[in-house]
Amino acid sequence: MPSRATRRIVTTTVTALVAVSLAGVGLGSAAAAPSGQPTCESVHPASKSAADIRKAVDTLTTCIAGLQKSADAAGRTSQVADEHYLSAKAAAGRAAQRYTAAQKVAAAATAKALKSRARAAVVAANLARTSSADQAAGLILDGGGATRVLYRVSRMSQLSVQSTQIFTDAKNDEHTAKVLESKASDAATTAQSAADRSKAAFDQAKRDAKAAKDVVDGQRRREQALQAELAALLPRPSAPSGSSGGGSSSSSSSVSNLPANASVAARVIAFARSHIGDPYVFAAAGPNAWDCSGLTMAAYAAAGIGIGGHTATGQYNLAASQGKLVSYANRQPGDLLFYTDGNGDMYHVTIYSGNGNMIEAPYEGQNVREVPVRGYQLVGQVARFSG
């Protein structure tokens, strides 16, 4: 079940952080935005001259950079919500399984009690028959002597105690099983409630992240339109001789194109690069859509290595349990990088691709990409499953 700190984050911090960050750049309500603060919508060229358009482009570029910071903050909040929701769903599933198991134990204990009741009844009936007046007289007149009489009396007494103990033990087992079933039911209900709260925070974080991205995208389209206007006003430079006009070749390559003796790290990175541009989808693990831990899990699976469950926290914990954590200062290509908000859980995982870069499935609205490593909330240890 999620910790108290986890529940606090997913029910309070998620929405509060996004609301504050969006309001700070004019994405929240008008009442929440600081009074008098300009927004990118107010940026327009004073005239159609190249100088005024260039000035407007520069101002808009600066404004968009501020919007992007808030969009990135909303994206991080979305990553946290993703991880907490995955963990809460998993916890609810485990609690439900324990409840089902407890129900089976309780049913078995009830059946045992009923069977023991029947056995006790048979013993009691036998005692009733052997305790009749004729049987009592028979004991007294038994030619076997006093020893035989005492033995038969003792045996009847033992049977009476045994029948009582059999039923008592069975009823105690039934009671214990019912208590365990009740506790398991309460735990399952609590875990499901936590999952529901995490889902609500997850949904809100997704909406906020999408709103932030939509605003940034809208302003970038305005910037591109102004850039096009500016380009139309400026003289077109001549193309250098021998230029092919073609773009750079793609850096992505599939695992199948690697030599047979390629390292695990090379296979992991090749797999991840081959999916750059695929969309981020929560809880997706391929083949053409991913979340952060789904991409890392599939990349290592392509190299024949399992790295734990479909959560960033699960992958970190497996690395820790297997002694595969290494200082970030000693990072190597193929290592997993983790991000945490400080409560003990990891909300994001990426693949270090070398030269200060990483490959990640970032958050809703952003595709799989290779970007410079971000230092904010980066964990000081990496997971090395590659060897």
Question: For 66-84, how does the pLDDT look when each residue is reduced to its tens digit (9 = 90+)?
Answer: 787 788 788 888 888 887 8
Tokens 């069977």 correspond to 115
What does the pLDDT average to over 220-239? 66
Higher pLDDT, 350 or 18: 350
What does the pLDDT average to over 302-321? 91
For strands 369-372 and 325-327, give the pairing: unpaired
pLDDT confidence of residue 155: 56
- Of these ranges, 93-102, 167-176, 272-281, the one predicted with the greatest mean pLDDT is 272-281
pLDDT score of 271 more than 80: yes
pLDDT confidence of residue 245: 37
Q: Could you please report the per-residue DSSP string of 65-80?
A: HHHHHHHHHHHHHHHH
Banded model confidence at residue 253, pLDDT cuts 50, 70, 90: very low
Tell me what percent of the residues of the chain surpass a pLDDT of 90: 24
Query: What are the extents of the domains in the chain?
Result: 4-233, 255-383
Query: Given 3-state DSSP classes, what are the helix, strand and coil percentages for the chain, each rounded to the nearest 5?
Result: 60, 10, 30
The predicted model scores a pTM of 0.48
What does the pLDDT average to over 295-323? 92
- Of these ranges, 106-110, 172-176, 270-274, the one predicted with the greatest mean pLDDT is 270-274
Q: Could you please report the per-residue DSSP string of 246-311?
A: --PPP----GGGS-TT--HHHHHHHHHHHTTTPBB-TT-BSSS-B-HHHHHHHHHHHTT----SSS
Q: Which residues contact 130 (CB under 8 A, 6 or more apart)?
A: 156
pLDDT confidence of residue 45: 87
CB-hemisphere CA count at 13 Å for 378?
19
97 residue type, one letter: Q
Mean pLDDT, the chain, whole residue set: 75
Class of 255-383 in CATH = alpha beta
